[in-house]
Structure formats: structure tokens, C-alpha cells
Amino acid sequence: MRTAAARQTSLRTTERPRENWVSQIGSFLFVLPYLVAFGFFLGYPIVFGATVSLQHWNPMIGSGGWVGLGQYLNLFNPSDLASQQFWQALLNTLLFVFISVPFLVGIPLILAYCMYLSPWKSVFRSAFFFPSILSATSVMAVWSWMLQTEGGPINHFFGSQIPWLVRQPWAWISIDLVTVWWSMGFNLIIIYAGITQLPQSTLDAASIDGAGIIRTFRSILVPQLKSILSVVLILSTIGSFNLFAQPFLLTGGGPNNSTMSVSQEIYNQGFGLNHMGSATAMAFVMGILLAAVSFVQYGTLRERRG
Amino acid sequence: MELSARRIGLSASAVLTALAGLAVYGAQVNAATPINISFWTSGSPAGVTQIVSEFNKAYAGKYQITFRAIPYSNETTVVNSALTAHKAPDIMEESLTFSTPYAVEGLEMPIGPFLKMAGINPKADFPAPMWDKAAVAGVHYVAPTDGLPTMFYWNKAMFKAAGLNPNKPPRTLAQFVADAKKLTNAKKGVWGYVQEPAWPAPFQFPSFLGQFGGTEANPTTKKMMFNGPAGVKAVQFMWNSIYKWHISPQNASAHESYNLFLQGKNAMMMTGAYDYASTSQKLGKNLGFSTLPVIGKKEADFLGQNYWWVFKNPSLTPAKDQGIADFMKFFYTHSLQLAKAGVLPVWQPTLRSAAFKHIPGDAQQAAALQKGILNPLITGWGTAGSYLYNNIDEALLNKMPIKEALDKAAQQMEQTLNQPTA
């Protein structure tokens, strides 16, 4: 009996690793399609891009020879025009991020709360989300007409002659205004969904304790939505760093390159001047910077959440 | 035995008939397999699709053109990706500036032999400005397909209201300024002319530069020449219209001259012929349309355009080359269809035809083609040109002296265009 039991135990122990192994293989097979897609569409382009950034690379004919870190070092050469353009574009983009992100988080937060309190939730939800589904080209075409200095409806309405798209700071104000109008709907829906998930009892208790709308917003809503707001903040920052269509179609990067974004500069280098090596080096520097900013943002917000 | 012999005979004749049938079918299949020629364009497909369709019908079984219109906004990306994947089209049609890098990198076939095969004499069959200046290092790789000149538009109703002869547009600088002053009522927001710092400056500046006898750059040495006296005079005219003569508002947005023109608040504009259809639709008989007035010393206007070329594809064979040549000839001889679709052909026999001259607006554009000027054929000109127009913007916003702006643009463009491909 003892021998039979021992044999059975030994069988079980030898079967368990096999079962585990089979189970792991099964799990791996479920992940495999994603891994293949990840490797093909993300891993390979990143590795390929890294190799391109270490070479002279003309998109029409391919490699023109290895230059090591030459493309990266060139970005720090102040006498090089491409380097000057890159840093100016980076500063422009940072300026846009600092201006637009607070609005892209703050306005949807306030509107989502107003929407939550309003009896016409679905109407407002559709109305605010609608611009997000429009293509960049059509949105920018309409706004570039609306913001014209002489014949634009906005200046006509206010009886003014503000050079919205022609001079600074108006060019940045216009780009930010259009960006917020166009893309806040997505953030608004996320935040609104977060508000609807808050326990009603907490809001009711605040109401019984005499908290008004503003106090409830400040002391209950915002603290409880911190995790959602941190996601919205990071997504908005990444989205703002990738600024392209708005200055490209509204101001053409002007006046005097003051609204030229990094993405546009990378595009010009790669596809306009065929300097693909330099363009990919710029893209990697921007990617590293963006990862660092997101990391700091996420770390800070996580610490605060405690 | 007799039966079996008959059977054998019948079987043999059946087999022979079947084999003969197969042979005939095979021959038919071979004859019906056409040579496939791929043709991409980033230009307007208007009229082209019809010509391609007619060619495919006319040469059914011999050649088959596979036509694809690619978006203008990302044409370089699409074509370069196709080149990298060895899937470039046989014939590509894009604007001239985009063709230059492919010629410089040795990816295009010289176009001369194709034109010769087609019996086309480019010097006689195309407007001289569109052929003579379209060579890279002395070799012609491209041939023009359509043109888009810079034109002069005026509102006849506004001319009449200002006491001017609506059928006598200004032809000289003095007439232009005098008329514009009469047409301007700044208090009411009505302008004789609207000079934007931004678009359509890339059509206007090369036109005025050419009129003052200047050129943009030397394609061989890549030395910028637009910052000479002619360039200064060209920008000076644009600046004067805003700040000296006050015939134009300050700070006009890109393409604002067009919007104000449609609203009846701008009497004259100088821009590409691309606005003809919409302005003609809106203003009807009140639209005046002609070649540019002479602001400088002679007639000249910048030409927007499309050219085509043949990529050095391994699939090219003498038979395919002949097919390409036949298609080119067919395209040009049927180019009246382009004109009917609103695209300006460049085939001289079409331009001279009575049918063409009856199409509204086309005779004026055809006249402009003969005085046209092109951008220099330098790789990266389109992108590097943004330095030029950024600095002209600064001058027209009165933030920088004209000469300084042009010198700065020249220095920036020379540095950019002389960089090795990195």
C-alpha cells in the first residue's frame, strides 16, 4: 500500500511540472499573436530606426554608410542649421505642451462635472465628443477660415482685426484654442466615465453635510479622480508632444518657424530633405525625452496617491 | 478489326482536333496578355482617368495602363516607400520639384528616347519655358504634362463701381497702383489688392523676381541668387502695397486675398490659376482673368506644373518602352480632355486648337505658359524654400528689412541644400 501510494505521489509530482509546462505553453500561445504583431510593428521598426539613425540614410537609395553617433552629436552642434531648427522646434513643442495640457485636462474636468449635474447629459456628451471624430484636415480648414484677419467670422463678430494666424502670441493662442476644441472630447468622456463610477453615497454624504457644488468638486471629485486624471494627463502630454497637423495646416509653422513642432521638423528632415538618418536621430531624442517626462509625471502622481 | 481501325482513326482525329484547339487557344491567350504599365500621379486625376480608359480600350490586348492617383499631401512618402520595396511605378507624374531627387540619384530614365519613339519633338511640342529649364545636369529626365500659371484676377463690378473701365485691367505698375488706390476704401474694409505675408507668396515672389530680371538660384552651384537687386525690388513691391501705397491690409492671413475676393472686398489678386474655377463660379461675368501685369521690366509668371518620368525599373523591356512611348503620345494628343476637365494641357497642338480656345479661361493661361518660369531643379528645394518664405513673411510683417531677410534666407538655404544627404 505504501509503495503504491508512494508511486502515485511520485507520478503526481512528475505530472505537475508537465501540466505546468503545458499550461504555460498554452498561455504563451494566447500571447503569441500579440508578441508577433508587437515584434513586427513595433520592435522591428524601433531596431531598424536605431540602425538608420547611426547611418547616412537616403530614403530613395538606402544606406550611405555608418556614422556612429554622428547624427546625435550633430544635434548638439550649434552652428548646424538642422540642429538649430530641431531645438527651436523642441522649445516650441514644450511651450505648446505647457500651455495646452492644463486646458486639455482642466476644461474637460469642469465640463464633465457640469455634464454630470445636468439633466441633458447625453446631448452634451455627444456635442462635446463630436469634434474628436472629425479629421484634422477638415477641422483645420474650417478654423483657418474662421481665424482669418480681415474676412474671418471671428474677427467680424468681435469687430476686431486680431492677426490670429499671422503674428505671435496670437498664433499660439489660435493653435491652443483649436486643439482644445478639437481634442478635449476624448478626455471629457474618460473623466465623465470616472465621475459616474464614484460612490453615490459619498456625494450624498457631502450634500447632507452642506457641501456646495464647488466644495464637492474640489474636496471629493478631484481627489477621487486622481488615478483617472493621471492617465488623462499622461495621454494629453504624449498627444501634445506629437503636435503636427495644427501648426502644419493653420500657420504652416510660422510666423518665422515660431510654431514649428518637432514632429514637423522630423518630417521635413526625413521626407523633404531626404536626411533620414538625421530625422530618426531627432525622433529618438524626442522619444527619450517624452518617456522621461511621462515617467516623472507618473511617478509624481503615484507618490501623491500614496 | 475494321471497327477498331475506325475507332483508332476517330480517336486520333479527336486528339489532333483537341491539340489544334489548344494551340489556337494558347496563341489567343498569348496574344490577349497585354503588357502592363503602371502609372501613378499625385496631380489632378481629372481628365487623366478618361484618357487612360480610352487608351486601354484602343490598345486592348496589347497594353494595359494601371492607373493610381496618390494623395498630393504625402506623395514623397508613398513613392519613396514604393522605391524601397522595388515596387515603383513605371511612369510617375508629380510636380517638377519632386522629380529632381530621383534624377540626381539616377533613378529616372532619360526621357528623350521615349519622346523620340513617340515621334514627339519637345522643342516644338511643349512651351519653351517648360522644356528648356527642365534638365538636370544637361539631361532631360522629365516631360511636362500640365501647367498652372500665376494669373491676374479682377472684379469687374468693383472696377465699374470705382469708375474704372472693367475691360481694361492694369498692365503696368503705375496703372496697377493707381487703380488699386481708387478701388481701396480701408474704412469699409474694401481693398484694391490684398498682399498676404504667407500663401500665395510662393507663386508671387518668383513671378515678380522674374519680371525684374532675376532668378532664384543656380542649380549647378546651388548658389542662391534671389537676394540680388531683382529680389529686393520684388519684395519691395509687395511691401509697398501694404505700407507705402496702403492698397492692401496689414497682417492678412494665408490665402485671404481669395476669400476677400469672393466676398467682393478685394478687387484684384495675383495667384495660381487653381482659383479660376471657384472665382468664375462665384463672380460669373464679373470675373476678369488675364496674365499678370508687368510689375517689373518684362512679362513673367511662375508656373505650377506636373511632369512625368519613367523609373529605371528592372521590368522595362523594349516592348514596354514602346508601350510607354505610345501612351505618352496618346495622352498628349488627347489632352483636350484635360482642358475640358479644368486642367491646363501643355501640348502645343492642343493649345493652338480652336476647341481649346473656346474653353473659358484657357486661352489666357496658355498665353501665360509661354512666359512661365520654373523653380530651380535642386534636391530639397521645396522644403528648403520655407526659409525663403519665412523670411519674406518677416519682411512683409515689417519685422525685418527686405535685404536682410533675403540675405538670411539665402544663407540658410545654401547651408541646407549643400548638406550631404544625411
Reference B197, options B393, B412, B17; nearest CA is B393
Q: Does the pLDDT value for residue B195 go beyond 50? A: yes
Q: Does the pLDDT value for residue B214 go beyond 80? A: yes
Interchain CB distance below 8 Å, B252 and A149: yes
Tell whether A4 lies on the interface with B, counting CB pairs under 8 A.
no
Give the CA diameter of chain B. Answer: 116
Nearest to B249 among A67, A150, A272 (CB): A150
Cis amide linkage into residue A169, ω under 30° from 0: yes
What's the rounded mean pLDDT across residues A208-219?
A: 92
Task: Identify residue A87 by its one-letter amino acid code.
Answer: W
Tell whether B256 lies on the interface with A, counting CB pairs under 8 A.
yes
Residues A23 and A138 in one domain: no
Percentage of chain B exceeding pLDDT 70 = 92
Same fold flag, B32-147+305-373 and B149-303+376-417: yes
Tell whether A60 lies on the interface with B, counting CB pairs under 8 A.
yes
Q: What is the pLDDT of residues B53-95, one digit of tens each?
A: 999 999 999 999 999 999 877 788 899 889 988 899 999 999 9
Query: Cell numbers 486639455 correspond to what residue?
Result: A104
Q: Does the pLDDT value for residue B1 go beyond 50? A: no
pLDDT at B125: 98
Decide which of B131 and B43 is more confident. Answer: B131
Tell whether A133 lies on the interface with B, counting CB pairs under 8 A.
no
Cα separation of A103 and A179, whole Å?
A: 10
pLDDT level of residue B3 (50, 70, 90 thresholds): very low
Interchain CB distance below 8 Å, A255 and B77: no
Counting every residue written for chain B, the total comes to 422
Reference A96, options A18, A204, A169; nearest CA is A169
What's the rounded mean pLDDT across residues A283-288?
A: 95
Domain spans in chain B, listed from the N-terminal domain onward: 32-147+305-373, 149-303+376-417
Residues A15 and A93 in one domain: no
Query: The CATH number of B32-147+305-373 is which of 3.40.190.10, 3.40.930.10, 3.40.50.10490, 1.10.3720.10?
Result: 3.40.190.10
CATH class of the structural domain B149-303+376-417:
alpha beta
Cα separation of B98 and B75, whole Å?
A: 9
Q: What is the pLDDT of residues A73-131, one digit of tens each?
A: 999 999 999 999 999 999 999 999 999 999 999 999 999 999 999 999 889 999 999 99
Q: Does the pLDDT value for residue B2 go beyond 50? A: no
Whether A49 is covered by a domain: the verdict is no
Mean pLDDT of the residues in chain B? 92
A81-117 vs A276-305: helix axis angle to the nearest 10?
40
A216-225 burial, b if ≥16 CB within 10 A, otherwise e? Answer: bbeebbeebb
Residues A178 and A223 in one domain: yes
Q: Does the pLDDT value for residue A306 go beyond 80? A: no
Q: What is the pLDDT of residues B259-304, one digit of tens each?
A: 999 999 999 999 999 999 999 999 999 999 999 999 999 999 999 9
pTM for this structure?
A: 0.86
Q: What angle do CA B367, B335, B315 make, to 5 degrees?
A: 125
> What own/partner pairs with CB < 8 Å and gap ≥ 24 does B273-276 have?
B273/B148, B273/B149, B273/B150, B273/B151, B273/B304, B273/B344, B273/B361, B273/B365, B273/B368, B274/B148, B274/B304, B275/B153, B276/B151, B276/B153, B276/B361, B276/B365
Q: Does the pLDDT value for residue B27 go beyond 60? A: no
Q: Considering its fold, how many domains does chain A have in total?
A: 2
Q: Does the pLDDT value for residue A290 go beyond 70? A: yes
pLDDT at B6: 60
pLDDT at A5: 60
Q: Does the pLDDT value for residue B422 go beyond 60? A: no
Percentage of chain A exceeding pLDDT 90 = 75
Whether A65 is covered by a domain: the verdict is no
Interchain CB distance below 8 Å, B416 and A273: yes
- Report the gap between the CA of B411 and the closest CA in chain A (Å): 10
Residues A208 and A297 in one domain: yes
Tell whether B390 lies on the interface with A, counting CB pairs under 8 A.
yes
Whether A30 is covered by a domain: the verdict is yes
The residues with which B140 forms a beta bridge, in sequence order, are B135
Domain range for residue A8? 2-41
Q: What is the CATH number of the domain that holds A294?
A: 1.10.3720.10
Whether A202 is covered by a domain: the verdict is yes
Residues A174 and A268 in one domain: yes
Q: Is the ipTM of this complex over 0.90?
A: no
Counting every residue written for chain A, the total comes to 306
Task: Give the helix/strand (H/E) hosting B192.
Answer: strand B191-193
Whether A52 is covered by a domain: the verdict is no
What does the block give as the cell for B276? 479660376
